[in-house]
Structure 1
Amino acid sequence: MIEKILLSFIPLISAFPLFMMIVELYGKRPKGRQWLWLIFSIGFFIWHGIASRFVSQIPFGRPLIPLGDLSLILFFTILFVKEENRKAPNPIRKPYILKGLIALGIFAAVIGVFSYWMQPPIFLIPLFAGALIAVYFDRLYSSMSYYPKPRVHLVYAFYILSSFLVLPVFRLFLLLQIAYVFIRRYRNWIDRKDRLITAHEEARITNHRIVMKMGETVNDFSDLHESIANFLSTLAEGIEAKSAAVYIWDEKQKLFRCSDIYGIFFPLTRGNEMSFTHAEALREIAFAQQISESENVIWQCGISRTGELIRFASSDERILSLGSRAANIRTLILEPLTFNKQLLGVLVVENKLYEHYFDDSDYYLVQNFAHYATMILKANEALVERQNQARTQAELQLGFHIQSGLLPNRIPICDGISLAGSMTPAKEIGGDYFDFLDLPNGNLGIVIGDVSGKGVPAGMVMTTLYAFLHAECHHFENSYSALVHVNSELSGRIAETMFASLLFFEWNPKKKSLHYTSCGHEHILHFKKSENALETIKSGGIALGMIDDNSRIIREKELAVSAGDTVLLYTDGVTESVNDKGEMFGLSRLQNFVSEYEALSAEEIRTSLLEVLKNFANGAAQADDITILVMKF
Structure 2
Amino acid sequence: MPVFYFYESLAYLGVFGDATEAEKAEILIKVSANQGKMRLWAEQGPMNYQHKFDLVEAEKHRVLGAYVEAIEYYDRAIAGAGENDYHNEEAIATELAAKFYLGWGKPKIAQTYLIDSYYAYCRWGAKAKIADLEQRYPQFLAPIISRGKKPQSRQTITDITNTNVTNTSSGTGELLDLEAVVKASQAISGAIRLEQLLSTLMELALENAGASKGALALVAQDDITIEAVAIADDIAEKSNTVRISSPEELPMTILNYVSRTLEPLVFGDATKEINWSSDPYIIQHRPKSLLCTPIVNGGKPIGILYLENNLTAGAFTPERLEILNILSAQAAISIENARFYQTLEGKVNQRTAELATANLQLAEANQEIAALNDKLQADNLRMSAELDVTRRLQQMLLPTPEELRQIPGLEIAGFMEPAAEVGGDYYDVLPHSSGVKIGIGDVTGHGLESGMLMLMAQMGIRTLLASELNNPSDFLNFLNVAIFGNLQRMNSDKNMTLAVVDYRDRHLKISGQHEEIILVRATGQVERIDTIDLGFPLGLVDNIADFVATAEVRLNPGDVVLLYTDGITEAIDINGVEYGLQRLISVVGENVHRSVGEIKQAIIHSLYQHIGQQKVYDDITFIVLKQQ
Please report the TM-score for the alignment, with normalisation by the length of structure 1. 0.37
Q: Which has the higher contact order (CA 8 A, sep 6+)?
A: 2
Q: Which has the larger Rg?
A: 1
Please report the TM-score for the alignment, with normalisation by the length of structure 2. 0.38
